[in-house]
Chain A
Amino acid sequence: MAESVPPPPGGKRKSSKKRKIVFDSDAKETAKRLKRGPGVNLKSITDKKLKGKLRRAEAVFSSSQKKAAQISEWLLPATAGTLVAEGIERTWNFKQEDIVQAVDVTAARKAFDLSLPELGPYKLNFTRNGRFMLLGGSLGHLAIMDWQRAHLVCEVQVREAVRDVVFLHNETFFAAAQKKYVYVYDKRGLEVHCLRAHVRANVLDFLPHHFLLTSIGKHGGHNWVSNGVTIWSYRLCGTNHDGVLRYQDTSTGQIVAQHKTLLGPCSVMRHNPHNGVILLGHARGCVTMWTPNMTTAAVKMLCHRGPLNALAVDASGTYMATAGMDSQIKVWDVRMLRPMHDYYSPAPVTRMDISQRGLLAVGYGRKVQVWQDALRNKAQSPYLTHNLPEGVTEVFRFCPYEDVLGIGHSAGISTILVPGAGEPNFDSFVANPFQTVKQRQQQEVVALLDKLQPDTIVLDPDMIGRVRKEPAEVARQRRQEEAAANTARRVAMRREAETKDKMKGKNRPSRRHRKKQNNIIEDRKPAVKERQKEEAARRKEATEKSEAAIPKDAPRAVRRFYKS
């Protein structure tokens, strides 16, 4: 039998205090980020049961937030990359060769140059876990490679113009925007689908949580079949629009939406990973934001004086960087839709990308520059610079979860090391670079079960959980509208009843007219009553105020001296 501890003399026994969790400054910031917003204000709730329930729920949330912060502080295995210049060195002076020399073998292998000069400028895409790389040469060379192990998964020559390539939900499928249509290929290089809805697509993008393949291209003409001969007639139907944005669900094959942007041909398209909204950059300098639910743009922002060259959105969906023909790079707060910083470059920047940790890569021609912390604050100097040995840049893509920037150019593919670009700790249930076949199959099933419907794409994804409270003005307006509708109905009913045109008797015109005048007062009654009520309330308040100014123990005779 356990002995009970006798209470200490002189006072109550101290109750066991929970260990207070103290964070240092970095961890505090992580803890704040993990909080996902402020808690519910419990003071304003009068219902006791609801208050108790919410109090318990808030306690659970705060304890789970603290535990997650502790885990992120102690249990995450890796830390982010860094590049520190010592003494008079500057980080932008370091060459890739120096960096590759200074890191270990496995990291050094990640920086390479693939020379493929014959088959045109190459477009590039990475899978969500950063393991596989998809190459698409403009002259029809498509290939998937496990780039870290230098292993080629598949290769296919389609011998047609390829304008863009994108992976679908994992490495087993990819889509290529070819000369006329978009084709979907397997990871063995076999053509699986020909998506005839996407005509002359310029850019492709894939929304992973919604399984939506988006393309921006032409609308194309109708094809009419007559006597078995297909007739193409552009003039007859007149629907040969440029800049048509198409959403297709790759799990069901359904075309979810087709929007005519009406802003001319467009070749700049990115998606905002935070809310799944598609951003297009147009030739007239405006950026439009699209959801599949609205036929017009949700947002239209005039960004540059001149056409947009490139666009990039950061992973948290807070910042957007745009580059235009006017040699300016502008950073915008995409939630508030406000400009933040401007940068000026000697020549217009044509390619741009933002990494997972917020590094901005910009480039034109052979030059590549990576800027650190250029989004939240205005950076004064770049972080890294690189000049391509051969070729002109075509596309930049940061590899997820790796400190690597993939550059597609006209002479092949290059990768450069950018310390601090990638998120060091991945989540196995989101994206696992060391995925086995079985894990990939399981993840596919789970992703399909969790697939979000296209009508959940909204500009503010937090809107979904909010409680909508009706402000007093809306309620009052609604009451006014109801009253107006009621009077209109009553008037209509009365007009219906008055269709008789008797000249004499009870229903003669003069009598009807008199009744009508009476009824006008009747219609005005509720508004008059409302005003009288307000007036009475105001008067009562005024008398209360004046009475409150008079102290209670003052004799009645002196009260008039207190009235102001």
Chain B
Amino acid sequence: MKVKVITRSEEDYTRERTSDLRKVQRNYDPLLHPLEKAKEYTRALNSAKLDRIFAKPFLAALQHDDGVTCLARNPKLVNSIVAGSADGDIRIWDIPRQRTLRRLVGHTGAVKGISFTPDGQTCVSASTDATVKLWKVPYAPFEAGVVQDDAEAVFEFHGKNAFRGIDHHWDRSSFATAGVAVDIWDHSRSEPIQTLTWGSDTVTSVRFNPAEPDVFASTGSDRAITLYDLRRATPLRKVVMQTRSNALAWNPMEPFNFTAANEDCCLYTFDMRKLGSALSVHKDFVSAVMDVDYSPTGREFVAGSYDRSLRIFSVSGGHSREVYTTKRMQRVFAVRFSGDATYVFSGSDDMNVRCWKAKASEQLGIRLPREKHKQAYHDALLERYKHMPEVKRIVRHRHLPAAIYKAAKMRRTVVESDRRKLQRRIEHSAPGSIVVQTERKRKILAQVE
């Protein structure tokens, strides 16, 4: 007879020395792994719960002496941010050590905009005292401890009226300011080299397109978003909306798209080639949206609003992925994404620049390969099961302050009752007599060329 019986020698299945790794055997036969789907669902539920347990996004608050009105990100340095406040004080922050590197003194009015030059070593700031100042930006020193020095402007540009916004070109040594009209300046000229105006309304913010060197857009108090081309003497076209836009941001990965933060609590993403209809409408705020900034990945953006919260939205539309609020944070006037898309900065009325994590439950720092794999598994589970009711309830859950919660509830009832009324009107009128406009077109009044 021929007999063979299972025999396992202990040496083959255990390690020799304590310095060796333990041996792992795998057998993927489904007989040994029953109830796989139920287990996977249970793991998805657990990862949703763990995600919420570890969601601690707030990192640091950096103090100013007056409300923070603008923020700027250095394109060449990831670890620093420049914040300008309402009393004309500009501070360069070293985020990892949470200390001020420089205080840029000089402005007498509120600083309305700061922007960096392409080399990341100088920045320009515009203020309501009708001046634009050029500053040198130092590197962060390696030694720890308080460093703060005061610095003076290298150059000053004088304008006739107060400035409302500024944006430096990403390639040239010229910048655009927003005020009474859009002025294009050069570093070597003390007078604007070009002035573009359309109508007699103030321009509130201006942004250069990240791919086309000559195209930029501005928002104005005539409730319009205007597109300009530097090679022409007059603006190109503008789209007039029902309410005013406060800020604008171009998508760095899809440079023909931009998002405008509007006074009617929504953000509108437009394709600059087809301004007749918005690409998507992002609705979650309950008060005017003050600022918007895209992530370097181009897949999401952060927006801060007058209702004391900041939200992170995904580009493809829908509700906000994340909402950050604190009892001590008042009206948010400026938001920026960090250069590595890991952090989000908010400058608010309570004189603080706050640093938050872009992904609230992310573990920062260097992670081991096994940790990364586990995290990727959890993310994949959540992605697959996020529509299931139990998982969805946990994933969506965010604590909101009572004021925002109640305001949102009120908005929902108003919207719902409007919708019901419209539906009944359509039901009881001649078919085709009531034309319903889509949400993406509703707020656009006209396109003017």
Residues of A within 8 A of B (CB): 30, 33-34, 36, 68, 71-72, 76-86, 89, 91, 94, 98-99, 102-104, 106-107, 110, 209, 273-276, 315-317, 356, 401-403, 417, 419, 422-434, 436, 439, 449-453, 456, 461-462, 464-465
Q: Which chain A residues lie closer than 8 Å to B41 at the CB level?
A: 456, 464
B5 touches A461 (CB 8 A): no
Closest A residue to B39 by CB, please name it: A450
Query: Is A78's CB under 8 angstroms from B6's CB?
Result: yes
Contacts A425-B25, A428-B26, A450-B43 given; does A461 touch B34 at CB 8 Å: yes
Known: A422-B6, A464-B41. A430 touches B1 (CB 8 A): no
**CB < 8 Å neighbour of A428 from B7, B24, B31, B39:** B24
A450 proximity list for chain B (CB < 8 A): 39, 42-43
Interface secondary structure of A, over-half rule? loop
Given contacts A72-B27, A439-B22, A453-B42, contact A403 B34 (CB under 8 A): no
In chain B, positions 25-54 with a C-beta closer than 8 Å to chain A are: 25-39, 41-43, 46
A99 and B3 contacting across the interface, CB-CB below 8 Å? yes
Give 16 A-B contacts (CB < 8 Å), ordered by A residue.
A33-B30, A34-B29, A36-B30, A36-B36, A68-B28, A72-B27, A78-B6, A83-B3, A403-B5, A419-B3, A423-B29, A424-B6, A427-B25, A429-B26, A439-B22, A452-B39
Least CB distance, B4 to chain A, in whole angstroms = 5
Bound Cα distance A85, B22 (Å): 39
Stretch at the interface among B9-17, B78-86, B129-137, B295-303: B9-17
Please, how many angstroms separate the alpha-carbon atoms of A99 and B27 in the complex? 28
Residues of chain B at the chain A interface (Cβ within 8 Å):
1-10, 12-14, 22-39, 41-43, 46
Shortest beta-carbon distance from B37 to chain A in Å: 4
Compute how far the CA of A453 lies from the CA of B46 in the bound complex, rounded to whole angstroms: 12
> Is the pair B1, A461 in contact by a Cβ cutoff of 8 Å?
no
Given the known interface contacts A77-B25, A427-B33, A434-B14, the answer about A461 and B38 at a Cβ–Cβ threshold of 8 Å is yes
Q: Is the CB of B31 within 8 A of A316?
A: yes
When chains A and B are docked, how far (Å) is the Cα of A94 from the Cα of B3?
11
CA distance A276 to B42 in the complex (A): 16
**Which 4 pairs of residues, A with B, have the shortest CB-CB distance?**
A68-B28, A84-B2, A107-B5, A427-B27
**Complex Cα spacing A426 to B9, Å:** 14
Cβ of A479 to closest chain B Cβ, rounded Å:
19
Q: How far is the CA of A178 from the CA of B9 in the complex (A)?
A: 38
Q: B25 and A102: CB pair below 8 A?
A: no
Nearest residue in A to B36 (C-beta to C-beta)?
Answer: A36
The 8 Å CB contact of B29, one of A72, A419, A453, A464, is: A72
The answer on a CB contact under 8 Å between A461 and B37 is yes
For the complex, give the distance between the alpha carbons of A317 and B23 in Å.
Answer: 31
Taking the closest CB of chain A, its distance from the CB of B421, in whole angstroms, is: 22
**Bound complex: CA of A451 vs CA of B41, how far in Å?**
11
Q: Is the CB of A315 within 8 A of B31?
A: yes
The reply to whether A84 and B39 form a contact with Cβ atoms under 8 Å apart is: no
Chain A residue, CB-CB nearest to B41:
A464
CB distance from A93 to the nearest CB of B (A): 10
Min Cβ gap A141→B in Å is: 30
Judge whether B1 and A452 touch: CB under 8 Å: no
CA A107 to CA B29, docked complex, whole Å: 25
Inter-subunit contact B6/A86 (CB<8 Å): no
B5 is contacted by which of A98, A103, A209 (Cβ under 8 Å)?
A: A103
Say which residue of A80, A106, A462, A465 sits within 8 Å of B7 (CB atoms): A106
The interface residues of chain A lying within 8 Å CB-to-CB of B23 are: 428
A46 to chain B, nearest CB (A): 20
- Besides A72-B27, A94-B1, 9 new A-B residue pairs in contact (Cβ under 8 A), listed by A number: A76-B27, A79-B4, A81-B3, A81-B6, A89-B1, A356-B31, A426-B32, A431-B32, A464-B37
Does A80 contact B28, Cβ atoms closer than 8 Å? no
* A434 with B29: CB separation less than 8 A: no
Pair A456/B3 contact, Cβ less than 8 Å: no
Query: In the assembled complex, which residues on chain A have CB atoms less than 8 Å from the CB atom of B29?
Result: 30, 33-34, 72, 423
Cβ–Cβ < 8 Å partners of A425 in chain B: 25, 27
CB–CB B2/A427 < 8 A: no
- CB closest chain-B residue, reference A358: B31
Q: Given the complex of chains A and B, what is the CA–CA distance between A432 and B8 in angstroms?
A: 12
Measured in the bound complex, the distance between the Cα atoms of B32 and A356 in whole Å is 9
- B30 and A401 contacting across the interface, CB-CB below 8 Å: no
Please report the C-alpha to C-alpha distance between residue A427 and residue B25 in the assembled complex, in whole angstroms: 5
Residues of chain A within 8 A (CB-CB) of B12 are 77
* Assembly CA distance A351 to B42 (angstroms): 36
- Tell me the bound Cα distance from A78 to B29 in angstroms: 14
Alpha-carbon separation in the docked complex, A229 to B28 (Å): 59
Of all chain B residues, the one with the shortest Cβ separation from A432 is B25
Least Cβ–Cβ distance between A428 and chain B, in angstroms: 5
Task: Give CA–CA (A34, B43) in the complex, Å.
Answer: 21
Q: Which residues of chain A come closer than 8 Å to B8, judged between CB atoms?
A: 78, 433-434
A427 touches B32 (CB 8 A): yes
| Chain B residues with CB under 8 A of A417 | 5
Nearest chain A CB to B304 CB, angstrom units: 31
Complex CA gap A99/B3 in Å reads 7
Please tell me if the beta carbons of A104 and B34 are within 8 angstroms of each other in the complex.
Answer: no
B7 and A104: CB pair below 8 A? yes
- A356: nearest chain-B partner, CB-CB: B31
- Give the shortest distance, in Å, between A110 (CB) and chain B (any CB): 8
Q: Which residue of B lies closest to A33 (CB)?
A: B30
Report A-chain residues with C-beta under 8 Å of the C-beta of B33. 427, 430
Q: Which of B13, B30, B32 has the most CB of A within 10 A?
A: B32
Contacts of B36 in A (CB 8 A): 36
CA distance A414 to B24 in the complex (A): 32
Contacts of A33 in B (CB 8 A): 29-30
On chain A, the residues within 8 Å of B25 by CB distance are 77, 425-428, 432
Q: State whether A451 and B37 are in contact (beta carbons under 8 Å apart), knowing that A77-B25, A81-B5, A433-B8 are contacts in the complex.
A: no
